[in-house]
A and B are shown apart, each in its own frame.
Chain A
Amino acid sequence: MILAILEIVKGSLTETSLETVTAARDLAQKSNDSVAALLMGKGVSTLAPTLKGIHTVLVAEDPHLEGYLPDALAEIAAYAIRQKSPKIALAPGTETGNDLMARVAARLNLGLATNCVEFSVEGGSLKRVTRLNWGGSLLEEVEIFSSPILLTLAPHALAAQSADGATPTVETLSLTLTEKALRVRMKELIPTEKKGISLTDAKIVIGGGRGMGSAEAFKMLEELASLLHNAAVGATRVATNNNWRPHSDQIGQTGAQIAPDLYIACGISGAIQHMVGCKNSKKILAINKDPEAPIFQRADYGVIGDLHQVVPALIAELKKLKGA
């Protein structure tokens, strides 16, 4: 059995959950095995019939399971793995999926390979997996010696595919959650105010780095953004560490992952930890005064020059075009 441990947000299976199901079906097909999925939460059994191409859906519907209860979910998932002894159990490599599987792995005293992007199945068994290192700027091939094999799948490593087939058999898991499993629980959710276009939704992102020189200078990027459709301003770690911008504006390995149509990098050297956050941009335009800056090896368009001259000139030109 290949067991897919799925994430449900606001009553629906997430995109990364569907990717996980796709990977599980693929692994099962290559190793001639069956596929099961585990659904945990309140009222999740209604989702079971939507899962096609899967043999069994295990359902755990404890009334306690509201909000994020990581230890409770881990108890259930560990129980399911003990009961069913799958060859492989995999979950989405999201923040919550990685958190859950680490708790499961600790409970079962098993290894866990997080954020996998490739699987190599030979002679019907999973030999090696490739996982992300450095937030995705390097790949690591590993061999896993523990059994069952526990994995998480990096988001968007593959595209979710629908499948045909009979509706799966539903099996209810019942176990009583201990007090301890409920000790880490969300008490409250404080909604954040949505203001403007978010970095991850913007079609155009303008990023500023050390070359901006000050918090003041970012006003010019804000102005440029206001002259473009669907644009937002981002920053490098140098800019956020200098308090020129809030950390929520940071793009990169330890910041946001963006995928706009165009990323305009101003005064940014192109360090891999920054670029891994914007590598999914359709096009990258770099403005840098140093022709040797590494960003020019990772961009589609380059402007060699002082951003403090280029950006104001660009703003003036756009205003002229708007006025005309």
Chain B
Amino acid sequence: MKVLVCVKRVPDTGGGFKLTADGMRVDTTNLGFTVSPHEECAIEEAIRIIEKHGGSSTVLTLGPQAAQEQLREAIAKGITSAILLEAEDYEFWDPAATAQAIAETVKSLGFDILLFGNESADTCNYQVGLRVAHLLDLPCVTGIKALEIQNNTAIAKRETKDGWEVYEVPLPAVFTVREGINTPRHPSLRGIMSAKKVPIEQKKVTKPASQIVRKALKKPQEGRQLEILGQGVDAVPKIVEKLREVGAI
């Protein structure tokens, strides 16, 4: 079994966003970087598939040199190899362009299962996985929360309000994964050490003309006025009062 996982490097913004002066990017000074939780789960799923069925797994990102950090973290957890499609301006690639570059790179590599996040953490386009599937002429099930491989067939499940939808598709196939499909592992210390030495395959890619072009980022209004109810247990009577106001008791 050969499994591919695609991840995107994004700032770990935590407490709030600061934008750059030109309003075009999130100011990443003093920020760490990560990948979407959906993609962390896709990495975990790839590792589990290989642990169970044998074979190899590859993690791929289209991003800056610095994204080696995300690739090596995936290797430290148990992914076999990594591909970096180097584009320092990756934040301004539209999903069609990203999908095109990924599809071109992987089309001859013979992956049986291609995993993506359901949507990227930052731009939330909901489309790179589906576009890659279309370009490679493969079936694609999105937003899956369970995956099982039997012979050459994948049984994928989506969770909806009404229950679990079950899909059965022949491999090779593309899946976009939602957080909750598994609980991702942490890398081991030994994994981290050996991941440093794994060579990363690199290729420079150039951004084609975009169909969707960012003009500005904006922060939405946040308007709540804080009322401090008190310190520690002294606040209990006031909490009870607020619970009454909303009809909770």
> What A residues does B248 contact at CB under 8 A?
203-204, 228-231, 261-262
Instruction: Identify which of residues 199-249 in chain B touch chain A, using a CB-to-CB cut-off of 8 Å.
Output: 209-220, 222, 224-233, 235-240, 242-243, 246-249
* Cα separation A142 to B93 with both chains bound (whole Å): 12
The answer to whether A187 touches B167, judged by C-beta atoms less than 8 angstroms apart, is yes
Known: A95-B143, A114-B124, A227-B249. A303 touches B215 (CB 8 A): no
Is B7 an interface position by the 8 A CB rule?
A: no
Q: B167 and A190: CB pair below 8 A?
A: no
CB distance from A228 to the nearest CB of B (A): 4
Contact of B236 among A113, A272, A285, A313 (CB under 8 A): A313
Check A272/B17 contact, CB under 8 A, given A106-B130, A228-B249, A310-B236.
yes
How far does the Cβ of B148 sit from chain A's closest Cβ, in whole Å? 13
Is there an interface contact between A272 and B14, defined as CB atoms closer than 8 Å?
Answer: yes
Are the CB atoms of A142 and B134 closer together than 8 Å? no
Q: Is the CB of B226 within 8 A of A296?
A: yes
Q: Chain A's nearest CB lies how many Å from the CB of B216?
A: 5
| Residue B125 interfacial (CB < 8 Å) | yes
CB–CB A310/B121 < 8 A? no
| Cβ contacts A71-114/B at 8 Å (1 or 0 each) | 10000000000000000000000010011001101110111111
Question: Assuming A136-B220, A229-B248, is B240 touching A302 (CB within 8 A)?
Answer: no
Complex contact A255–B222 (CB within 8 A): no
Cβ of A121 under 8 Å from chain B? no
**Interfacial chain B residues near A136, Cβ < 8 Å:** 220
- A253's partner among B121, B127, B226 (CB-CB below 8 A) is B121
Task: Tell me whether A302 and B180 are in contact in the complex, defined as CB-CB below 8 angstroms, given that A111-B212, A113-B212, A186-B165 are known contacts.
Answer: no
Q: Does A183 contact B (CB under 8 A)?
A: yes
Find out whether the CB atom of A140 lies under 8 angstroms from the CB atom of B214.
yes
A140 to B11, CA, bound (A): 16
Indicate if the CB atoms of B130 and A133 lie closer than 8 Å: no
Choose from B26, B130, B165, B184 the contact partner of A103 (Cβ within 8 Å): B130
Check if B229 sits within 8 Å of A301, measured CB to CB: yes
User: Is there a chain A Cβ closer than 8 Å to B111's Cβ?
Assistant: no
Q: Is the CB of A137 within 8 A of B220?
A: yes
A143 at the A/B interface (Cβ < 8 Å)?
Answer: yes
Query: Are A98 and B242 neighbours in the complex by a CB distance under 8 Å?
Result: no
CB of B126 within 8 A of CB of A98, answer yes
User: Which residues of the partner chain A approach B123 to less than 8 Å between Cβ atoms?
Assistant: 133, 140
* Residue B31, interface by CB 8 Å: no
Residues of B within 8 A of A71 (CB): 139
Please report the C-alpha to C-alpha distance between residue A243 and residue B184 in the assembled complex, in whole angstroms.
11
Segment touching B, from A15-23, A57-65, A314-322: A314-322
Which residues of chain B are within 8 angstroms of A99 by Cβ–Cβ distance? 126, 130, 142-143
Give chain B nearest CB distance to A270 CB in angstroms: 7
Query: How many Å from the CB of A11 to the closest CB on chain B?
Result: 14
If the complex has contacts A114-B127, A134-B13, are A187 and B213 also in contact, measured as CB distance less than 8 A?
Answer: no
Chain B residue contacts of A188, Cβ below 8 A: 165-166
Please judge, given known A-B contacts A187-B166, A191-B163, A254-B36, whether A300 and B224 are in contact too, CB under 8 Å. yes
Other-chain residue from A138, A145, A270, A296 in contact with B17 (beta carbon distance below 8 A): A138
B121 CB contacts on chain A under 8 angstroms: 134, 253
A residues within 8 A CB of B230?
A: 303-305
What residues of A have a CB within 8 angstroms of the CB of B37 in the complex? 237, 254
A284 at the interface (CB under 8 A from B): yes
Q: Is the CB of A305 within 8 A of B231?
A: yes
A139 at the interface (CB under 8 A from B): yes
Asked if B247 contacts A203 (CB within 8 A), the reply is: yes
A110 near B235: Cβ-Cβ < 8 Å: no
**For the complex, what is the distance from the CA of A262 to the CA of B229, rounded to whole Å?**
15
Residues of chain A lying within 8 A (CB to CB) of residue B237: 317
| Distance A301 CA – B240 CA, assembled complex (angstroms) | 12
Q: Mark B81-106, 1 if CB is under 8 A from A, else 0.
A: 00000000000001110010000000
Q: Is the CB of B180 within 8 A of A247?
A: yes
Q: Tell whether A301 pairs with B227 under 8 Å between CB atoms, given A143-B215, A145-B213, A271-B15.
A: yes
A269 in the interface (beta carbon within 8 A) = yes
CB under 8 Å from chain A, chain B span 118-149: 118-119, 121-127, 130-131, 133-135, 139-143
Q: A140-B214, A270-B15 are in contact. Are A321 and B249 (CB under 8 A)?
A: yes
Is residue A132 within 8 Å, beta carbon to beta carbon, of the partner chain?
yes
Chain A positions near chain B (C-beta within 8 angstroms): 68, 70-71, 95, 98-99, 102-103, 105-107, 109-115, 128, 130, 132-146, 183-192, 203-204, 227-231, 237, 240-241, 243, 247-248, 250, 253-255, 261-262, 269-273, 279, 282-285, 294, 296-306, 309-310, 313-314, 317-318, 321
Cross-chain pairs A/B with CB under 8 angstroms, 15 sampled: A99-B126, A103-B134, A106-B99, A106-B130, A110-B96, A111-B212, A114-B125, A135-B124, A241-B184, A254-B178, A261-B246, A282-B246, A305-B235, A310-B235, A318-B249
